[in-house]
């Protein structure tokens, strides 16, 4: 990835997203929030508010730069490799799926490796049988500025497939760019670290949910003790 590309991609595109975002949120309620919160709030369940594009792109690009390193590539190891092999069959099959997602994202967008916990981000839906197996790695692609945070996934790795990311170095040959990215640039250490954080986060949320459910149950049982049915002469069965 040439210096020219970095100078434009980071120095102009990424910088513009940050500056424009700041202009958009100054003085609003979004101003003090963390970037991730700004993204989720302005995503507005799909009905995006104006700051979304800039916020998401600022986050996406930071995430993208950190997904790479000089002398990267190769294969992951340890727990990450185990999970990849468990969820994709083999590292090669994961590679194929990731490359295919990146190549088939039509228009501008991103391809991701993400950690998906056993939650459903729908307000009134519950996963009735949450199990360890639901927590898994997935490959997803997203258009324009969308990123998996809005689906409540934990992103681990991304590749930018907006044309500005590869046009100076590869012109229209996106598949070459993707291959080079996977062979020479990916920083698996960073991805592994993100996986650990994602798993810790998932466990923490599970514990919090357990706690909250228990609290609610306690409250309900207290109420039940207090309920008194006032009967008339006839007894009514409920």
Contact residues for another protein (CB under 8 A)? 8, 12-13, 16, 53, 106-109, 143-145, 162-164, 167-168, 171-172
Alpha helices in the chain (DSSP H): 3-8, 15-25, 35-43, 51-66, 78-88, 91-104, 167-170, 174-180, 188-226
Nearer to another protein, 97 or 163 (CB): 163
CB of 60 to another protein, least distance (A): 13
To the question of whether residue 9 is assigned a binding role by annotation, the answer is yes
CB of 71 to another protein, least distance (A): 27
CB–CB of 60/148 below 8 Å? no
Nearer to another protein, 9 or 135 (CB): 9
CB of 214 to another protein, least distance (A): 45
CB of 98 to another protein, least distance (A): 21
What is each CA distance from 181 to 47, 87, 165, 174, in whole angstroms? 33, 22, 11, 10
To the question of whether residue 164 is assigned a binding role by annotation, the answer is yes
Nearer to another protein, 109 or 155 (CB): 109
CB of 154 to another protein, least distance (A): 24
CB–CB of 137/92 below 8 Å? no
Nearer to another protein, 17 or 94 (CB): 17
In the block, tokens 């760019």 appear at: 177
Strand 109-116 to 154-160 pairing: antiparallel
Q: What is the largest CA-CA distance in the chain?
A: 89
Nearer to another protein, 152 or 169 (CB): 169
Per DSSP, the residues of 13-68 read: IIHHHHHHHHHHHTTSTTTTS-HHHHHHHHHGGGS--THHHHHHHHHHHHHHHHTB
Annotated binding residues for Mn(2+), written as ranges, equal 9, 61, 160, 164
Residues flagged as binding site: 9, 61, 160, 164
């Amino acid at each position: 990835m040439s210096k020219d590309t970095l100078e434009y991609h980071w120095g102009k595109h990424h910088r513009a997203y940050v500056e424009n975002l700041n202009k958009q949120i100054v003085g609003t309620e979004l101003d003090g929030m963390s970037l991730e919160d700004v993204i989720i709030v302005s995503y507005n369940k799909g009905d995006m508010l104006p700051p979304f594009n800039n916020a998401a792109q600022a986050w996406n690009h930071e995430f993208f730069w950190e997904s790479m390193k000089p002398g990267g590539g190769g294969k992951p190891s340890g727990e990450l490799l185990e999970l990849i092999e468990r969820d994709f069959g083999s590292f090669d099959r994961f590679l194929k799926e990731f490359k295919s997602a990146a190549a088939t994202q039509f228009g501008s967008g991103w391809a991701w490796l993400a950690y998906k916990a056993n939650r459903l981000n729908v307000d009134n839906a519950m996963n009735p049988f949450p199990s360890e197996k639901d927590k898994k790695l997935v490959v997803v692609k997203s258009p324009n500025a969308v990123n998996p945070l809005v689906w409540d996934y934990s992103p681990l790795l991304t590749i930018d497939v907006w044309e500005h990311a590869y046009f100076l170095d590869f012109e229209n040959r996106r598949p070459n760019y993707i291959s080079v990215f996977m062979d020479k640039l990916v920083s698996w250490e960073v991805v592994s670290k993100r996986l650990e954080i994602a798993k810790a986060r998932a466990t923490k949320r599970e514990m919090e949910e357990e706690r909250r459910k228990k609290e609610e149950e306690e409250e309900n049982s207290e109420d039940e003790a207090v309920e008194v049915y006032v009967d008339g002469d006839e007894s009514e069965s409920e």
